[in-house]
Amino acid sequence: MRNIARNLPHYASLFGILFVGALGFVFFSYDRVFQMGVALAVGISYVSWGIIHHYIHHDLTFAVLIEYLAVAILGLVMVFSLLVRT
């Protein structure tokens, strides 16, 4: 519990990135290309947040970087495939 309270500003910024991305995705539902751009921006922001967060806590490793990249790429593949399909 103490760890969550100490890192609350970090997680609040991550929540903000994801929330603004979701709002952008909804507000621009009429433009599929712009939605792809929003999804790409959220993916890049997510990876950047992870790198900064782990760098600050001195536990940034290559495996952590690959994990954040893999999650972002998986999310982008899912979003892009849904956008292209419809």
Q: Mean pLDDT of successive 10-residue segments in the chain (86 residues)?
A: 79 94 94 95 97 94 97 96 87
pLDDT for the residue numbered 2: 73
Name 35's Cβ contacts closer than 8 Å, sequence gap at least 6: 24, 25, 28, 29, 79, 83
pLDDT for the residue numbered 15: 95
Supply the range of the domain harboring residue 73.
Answer: 2-85
CA angle 6/3/21 to nearest 5° reads 70
State pTM to two decimals. 0.90
The domain total for the chain is 1
Q: Are 23 and 45 in contact (CB under 8 A)?
A: no
pLDDT for the residue numbered 1: 65
pLDDT for the residue numbered 4: 74
The runs of H, that is alpha helices, within 1-86 are 2-6, 8-27, 32-56, 62-85
pLDDT for the residue numbered 86: 63
